Amino acid sequence: MPRHVRAEPRPWPWIFAILSVLVAAALVWGGISLLGGRPAADSGSGQETPPATTTAATSAAVPTSTASSTPTPTPTPTAKPALVPDYVLPPIQNGLAPVLTRVPTEQKVVFLTIDDGANKTPEELQILKDNDIKASLFLAQSFILDNPGFFKDFVAAGHKVEDHTLTHPLNLIKMPYAAQKAEICGMADYVEQTYGRRPVFFRPPGGPYTDNVRRAVAECGMKAVIDWEAKANAGGMDYQVGQSLRPGEIVLMHFRKEFAADMAAFLAAQKAAGLQVVLLEDYLATG
Ligand SMILES: [Zn+2]
């Protein structure tokens, strides 16, 4: 390029210089305001990221944060480590609800279930509170009709009422299907009306179940049959497998006169095994 061609528009470089300074200033200003706005937007999504300390997450991790996280006002002085469940409850298949006798996990968790509802003393709720334990309560109507309100305090404290039939028939599996369904659906309806939440789990009286029971549980709108492989009984522990609590163990207890002694046995076993007591409904994200 010949020099004279470029030399002609002398004023332009100055204008360009001024313009570029203005543009640069505008960009810097915009950048600052963008940065200023960013933290508010980021903090929301940042909190959803699971803590780095948690173990391998599966899709089960997602529902736990949204599901039944009833904002219990308990201040929980003992902060428990964050737990991301590694097991997902199977869906109803061929009209049959899945059955769990233990949650297949190696995570250091144990689940407490308390049945029937015959014995009712304020001490029982207090013991659970003192130990910061939430339990699933498999109640049968015939045991609680004298004082159903007793268990409303449990519900308010974060415990879940589940289905254990209307009349606790130990021959449930031998009854005609319609009668089984009446026992199972009837209690689900009653629990929903009385405690404001439809049960998600069913426990057969005595434990035995058949496909008919599993079918009725599904048809009554519930998600699983829950049995057990360990129980606190007469102030001691009974194990169907091994001699101590295993990870994922579902423990059976009862509202009986021996409640305090049974709970002491459970707590000793739970601590010896180094397991954290978790609410089954929370772990399985069933609400
Ligand atoms: Zn029972």
The Å distance, Cα 168 to ligand 1 centre, comes to 6
The Å distance, Cα 261 to ligand 1 centre, comes to 19
The Å distance, Cα 140 to ligand 1 centre, comes to 7
The Å distance, Cα 155 to ligand 1 centre, comes to 19
The Å distance, Cα 104 to ligand 1 centre, comes to 24
CB atoms within 10 A of CB 189: 16
The Å distance, Cα 31 to ligand 1 centre, comes to 66
The Å distance, Cα 46 to ligand 1 centre, comes to 45
- Phi and psi of 109, rounded to 5°? -125, 155
| Terminal Cα distance for the chain, rounded | 78
The Å distance, Cα 268 to ligand 1 centre, comes to 24
One-character DSSP codes across 208-247: ---HHHHHHHHHTT--EEE--SEEEETTEEEESSSSSPPT
DSSP 150: G
The Å distance, Cα 231 to ligand 1 centre, comes to 12
The Å distance, Cα 175 to ligand 1 centre, comes to 17
246 contacts: CB under 8 Å, gap ≥ 6: 102, 273
The Å distance, Cα 207 to ligand 1 centre, comes to 8
- Domain boundaries in the chain? 1-35, 89-283
Whether the predicted model's global pTM rises above the 0.85 cut: no
Whole-number Å distance between alpha carbons of 233 and 258: 8
The Å distance, Cα 113 to ligand 1 centre, comes to 11
pLDDT score at 90: 97
pLDDT score at 50: 35
Q: Which of these, 141, 259, 134, lies nearest to 205 by C-alpha position?
A: 141
The Å distance, Cα 190 to ligand 1 centre, comes to 17
The Å distance, Cα 254 to ligand 1 centre, comes to 8
pLDDT score at 82: 75
Residues paired with 239 in a beta bridge: 230
Q: What is the pLDDT along the chain (287 residues), one digit of tens a residue?
A: 444 444 444 545 554 454 454 444 444 444 443 333 333 333 333 333 333 333 333 333 333 444 444 555 555 555 666 789 999 999 999 999 999 999 999 999 999 999 999 999 999 999 999 999 999 999 999 999 999 999 999 999 999 999 999 999 999 999 999 999 999 999 999 999 999 999 999 999 999 999 999 999 999 999 999 999 999 999 999 999 999 999 999 999 999 999 999 999 999 999 999 999 999 999 999 98
The Å distance, Cα 255 to ligand 1 centre, comes to 10
The Å distance, Cα 205 to ligand 1 centre, comes to 5
pLDDT score at 36: 36
The Å distance, Cα 118 to ligand 1 centre, comes to 10
The Å distance, Cα 215 to ligand 1 centre, comes to 20
The Å distance, Cα 208 to ligand 1 centre, comes to 11
The Å distance, Cα 162 to ligand 1 centre, comes to 12
Assigned CATH class of 89-283: alpha beta
The Å distance, Cα 285 to ligand 1 centre, comes to 24
